[in-house]
Structures are given as C-alpha cells and as structure tokens.
Amino acid sequence: MKKNRRIHFFVGGPAFHPTAEQARQIAQWLGPEYTCEIGDGLPAFEALDRCDLFVVMGLHWTGSHGTEWGDYHPLTERHKKAFEEYAASGRPILAHHGGIASYDDWPRFGELVGVTWVWKHSSHSPYAQHTVRVLPTGHPVVEGVRDFTLQDELYYNLAITKGLEATVHAEAEFDGRRLPMIVTAPRRVYLANGHDMAAFQCPAMKQLWINSVRWLLDS
C-alpha cells in the first residue's frame, strides 16, 4: 500500500455537527499511513492542489449567516475553479452527513459531490436510535460490516447528480421509506450517518471510514 497519501478534511459550521472533532477521530482510525489535514471553510479549498482525497464534512450554507453559527463565507470564483479542477482530475471525494448541504448558493458544488441536500425539500428524522441494514452488494466499502444500530438522524429527499452511476449499499427505514445510508459512484462515496460523536461510537463507523478511504485511494 502506498504511504503518506494526503487527505484533506473540509470541516466547520454549527457545533451540533462537530466535524473537526470527527475528522480527528477518523485520522486516528486511519493511522500513520495517511497524512491528514483539516480546513475550516474556505481554507480547505486552498489545499485541493496538494491532496489525494477531499473529505466533505463541514456545513457552510447561506442560512447560517448572521446567526450564532457565524457568518457565511461563499466560495470565491477561485475556489470554485479549484474544486472544478479537482473533480475533473479524477481524484476522489468522500462526503459525510451534513457536508452535502453546503454552498447552496452554488448548485454546482452538490453536483460535483454527487449527493445534495436540497434546502426546503430535503429533511431528516428525529435524532433517535436507528438500525442500518447493509445490503448484499459485495462492495469493498461495506466489507466486514453487518447491520448496525446507532444514535443518529436520517436524511431523506436527497438529490443524486443526474447521470451519476450511484449504488446504494445500506439503508435505514423511516416513516415507511427505505433511505440510502451508504452510496458509492465512480470516485465518490457518501456516508450519511454521523450526526455527532455519539454516532461515531458505533463500531461500524470505524470500519466504514477505513473501507471508504482505502477503496477511493486504492481502487
């Protein structure tokens, strides 16, 4: 396995999604074979030219401006161009939980990520104990992972980029619907679970993150 590949975590946003703390936990899970960096908001996009994997975790959206969560800082044209070039290069993107709701004033962001929270359309279940069913797809991302239960909120009415060859590998039921919890596509992974650090106490989370990073960087 190649050593010292660089992973950059895009974090920040409201405290109810402790993405910086989660990123540090993931870095510990991954171990020394990866170089992990963390950027809050716009600075993360300054690192795109030097990273092998971009992890979208932070929640930065227009509705947070002027609130207790801090002012919103939109992507500049330079940052947009850097993200477009990153995606066009074929390097992978791993999206997590609320990161898919960021930069709603630039719809192209969600298109490049692959899965998008659509404001005023997407929503989530109450924060509670939920069971996630792993589907028999045989994909490396779910290798060694069985059905699991965790404290979390479940997202629904999400949008998947048109034309993206997406496959769902795990689902959870809410309000009579089966909701996608793990989605892959070429050079893309979306891990929907992980509202807070309590969710990260579920043992399956560690294996899913390790599997996802290895698949994106080794496949």
Residue 198 corresponds to which tokens in the numbers above?
Answer: 């309590």
Percent share of the chain, pLDDT over 90: 94
What pLDDT is recorded for position 2? 52
37/200 Cα distance (integer angstroms):
19
- Domains of the chain (ranges, CATH numbers): 5-218 (3.40.50.880)
What pLDDT is recorded for position 71? 86
pLDDT, one tens digit per residue, over 205-218 is 999 999 999 999 99
Residues of the chain scoring pLDDT < 70:
1-3, 66
pLDDT, one tens digit per residue, over 81-124 is 999 999 999 999 999 999 999 999 999 999 999 999 999 999 99
Q: What are the CA-CA distances from residue 48 to residues 121, 192, 204 (Å)?
A: 30, 23, 29
Q: DSSP string spanning 133-179?
A: EEPS---GGGTT---EEEEE--EES-EE-TT---EEEEEEEETTEEE
Question: How many whole angstroms from its chain centre is CA 153?
Answer: 14
What pLDDT is recorded for position 206? 99
**Strand residue runs (E) in 24-74:** 34-40, 53-56
131/179 Cα distance (integer angstroms):
11
